[in-house]
Amino acid sequence: MADFEVDVDPAEAGFDAARLSRIDAHFDRYVENGRLPGWLAVVSRHGRIVHMGRGGYRDVEASLPVEPDTLWRIFSMTKPVTSVAAMMLAEEGLLELDDPISRWLPEFASPRVYVKGSALAPATEPATSPIRVWHLLTHTAGLTYGFHHGHPVDAIYRAAGFEWGTPRGADLAECCAQWAALPLLFQPGTEWNYSVATDVLGRLVEVVSGLPLDEFFASRIFAPLGMTDTGFVASSPDRLAAMYVRDPASGRAVRNDAFGRLGTARPACLSGGGGLVSSAPDYWRFTEMLLRGGALDGVRLLAPRTVSLMASNHLPGHVDLEAFGRPLFAEMPFDGHGFGLGFSVLEDPVKARTLSSAGEFAWGGAASTAFWVDPDEDLTVGFYTQLLPSSTYRLRPQLRQLVYQALVD
């Protein structure tokens, strides 16, 4: 996108330009010492691009630089898109947050919950309440991810072929049928655990709408918002960044073409939890829509009250994830953060030890991409790279510090 560039003097938007330049210097050091292949950061305030920094390469081996229109696998930054899709259907009266998901996905009619035992011989009991739509949106359904490596049920997922992917050839309907047959970690609604819940939510969107998930996204979200480069397959393969992982011996980013194949062909399973490829300009439009209460450039996807509900902490008693969540891998810290309908929600900046504003909502992806929306400051920020896993470095809190120290009005 040729016109995706800084379009306002930083001082007019309340930023110190010299301090913003610290973002570039900081992340360029990651490139210089080989820890990141390349990166791009976008800071926007009052709907204007205040700063866009980029450095390094989208493909180190081919010496192809990061460009504003580089395509990135955004992994779990897909989750907010799926959550928006579900809430659009809720606004149409086609589903309610308290509805049992078995109304549309009968395979989830009689879930069983892990009680004790090993992955090979788990003891289970019936769920005392159904999995509801809001459980999927808040990751309180009792589902999990195989890559957590923190519970016997995680191992059961891995044994069934669910660790960093899905069984070969299985579509979303088949994956949901398999997940429904596996034990839940806990009774629905009693804890928080990052999980395949948003993938199940994506299947719910398919059944309720009557459209495959890619078609719903394309027709109902991407086309209306002008997100021409977002989908389950890269719109332009030559712009798709290569994938890298951290080498444990050297600490340097090493190319991984097995993960790099993601996004190059339509997957059998359309993952509403992590399957999208996007660009910085496209995802900026998505975050700006959220910041503006569900509308952008005359196109409205959601009502302001719906976005406000999504960006509210839904954990019981407004507790944070440290109190209610399982201390496993996730896309943000637990201290001071609650969880809404598809995003983390910052409840207490002091407890979270961040300069961000209370009410900020955010999420990130496994390849170290991230975004946040700060309604108090009328601010959106996006960060893009392709380094697995996202827990390798503290890139997200570093970026927050660098953005807010430059905000001086």
Predicted confidence (pLDDT) per residue in 312-363, tens digit? 999 999 899 999 987 765 566 789 999 999 999 999 999 999 999 999 999 9
Tokens of 18: 């010299």
Tokens of 125: 């009991």
Tell me how far apart the alpha carbons of residues 385 and 124 are, in angstroms, rounded to a whole number. Answer: 41
Check: CB of residue 397 under 8 Å from CB of residue 360: no
Q: What is the pLDDT of residues 214-238, one digit of tens each?
A: 999 999 999 999 999 999 999 999 9
- pLDDT score of 276 more than 70: yes
**Is residue 338 one of the residues assigned to a domain?**
no
pLDDT band with cut points at 50, 70 and 90 for residue 390? confident
Q: Please tell me the predicted confidence (pLDDT) of residue 329.
A: 58
Determine the distance from the C-alpha atom of residue 236 to the mean position of all C-alpha atoms in its chain, rounded to a whole number: 22
**Is residue 53 one of the residues assigned to a domain?**
yes
**Is residue 163 one of the residues assigned to a domain?**
yes
Residues 98 and 244 in one domain: no
Written as one string, the DSSP assignment of 8-65 is S-GGGGTB-HHHHHHHHHHHHHHHHTTS-SEEEEEEEETTEEEEEEEEEEEETTTTEE
Q: What is the pLDDT of residues 50-97, one digit of tens each?
A: 999 999 999 999 999 999 999 999 999 999 999 999 999 999 999 999
> Which long-range contacts does 154-158 make (Cβ < 8 Å, 24+ apart)?
155/119, 156/119, 156/122, 156/182, 156/183, 157/182
Q: Please tell me the predicted confidence (pLDDT) of residue 325.
A: 86
Residues 154 and 81 in one domain: yes
- Number of domains, the chain: 2
Q: Please tell me the predicted confidence (pLDDT) of residue 326.
A: 76
DSSP letter (8 states) at residue 406:
T
Q: Please tell me the predicted confidence (pLDDT) of residue 3.
A: 79
- pLDDT score of 1 more than 60: no
Bridge pairing between strands 253-255 and 244-246? antiparallel
Q: Please tell me the predicted confidence (pLDDT) of residue 366.
A: 94
Residues 192 and 243 in one domain: no
Q: Please tell me the predicted confidence (pLDDT) of residue 372.
A: 98
**Is residue 277 one of the residues assigned to a domain?**
yes
Q: Please tell me the predicted confidence (pLDDT) of residue 392.
A: 85
Residues 104 and 187 in one domain: yes
**Is residue 315 one of the residues assigned to a domain?**
no
**Is residue 181 one of the residues assigned to a domain?**
yes
Helix, strand, coil percent values for the chain (each to nearest 5) = 35, 20, 45
- pLDDT score of 310 more than 80: yes
Residues 144 and 271 in one domain: yes
Strands across the sheet containing 64-65: 64-65, 48-59, 38-45, 379-384, 370-374, 361-364, 344-346, 337-339
- pLDDT score of 177 more than 70: yes
Tokens of 189: 């609604």
State phi, psi for 332 to the nearest 5 degrees: -165, 165
Q: What is the pLDDT of residues 240-271, one digit of tens each?
A: 999 999 999 999 999 999 999 999 999 999 99
Q: Exposure pattern of 140-155 as b/e (b: 16+ CB <10 Å)?
A: bbbbbbbbbebbbbbb
β-pair partners for 45: 48, 379
Q: Does an H or E element contain 402, and which?
A: helix 395-404
β-pair partners for 64: 59
Mean pLDDT, residues 159-174: 95
Task: Note if the pTM is more than 0.75.
Answer: yes
Residues 170 and 214 in one domain: yes
Within 8 A by CB and 6+ apart from 256, the residues are 243, 244, 245, 388
- Which CATH number fits the domain that encloses residue 138? 3.40.710.10
Residues 125 and 103 in one domain: yes
Residues 163 and 127 in one domain: yes
**Is residue 356 one of the residues assigned to a domain?**
no
Tell me how far apart the alpha carbons of residues 74 and 71 are, in angstroms, rounded to a whole number. Answer: 9
- Give the number of C-alpha atoms closer than 13 A to the C-alpha of residue 143, restricted to the C-beta side: 28
Range list of H helices, 64-115: 79-91
**Of residues 225, 223, 140, the one with CA closest to residue 185:** 140
Residues 189 and 89 in one domain: yes
Mean pLDDT, residues 101-113: 98
Tell me how far apart the alpha carbons of residues 377 and 379 are, in angstroms, rounded to a whole number. Answer: 5
Residues 152 and 278 in one domain: yes
Q: What is the pLDDT of residues 127-141, one digit of tens each?
A: 999 999 999 999 999
Packing angle of the helix pair 197-209, 79-91 (nearest 10 deg): 40
Q: Please tell me the predicted confidence (pLDDT) of residue 49.
A: 98
Q: What is the mean pLDDT of the chain?
A: 96
Residues 30 and 108 in one domain: no
Segments forming the whole domain that contains residue 20: 8-68+233-262
**Is residue 357 one of the residues assigned to a domain?**
no
Residues 170 and 271 in one domain: yes
Query: Whose structure tokens read 């996204």?
Result: 217
Which residues are known to be catalytic?
76
Q: What is the pLDDT of residues 8-66, one digit of tens each?
A: 999 999 999 999 999 999 999 999 999 999 999 999 999 999 999 999 999 999 999 99
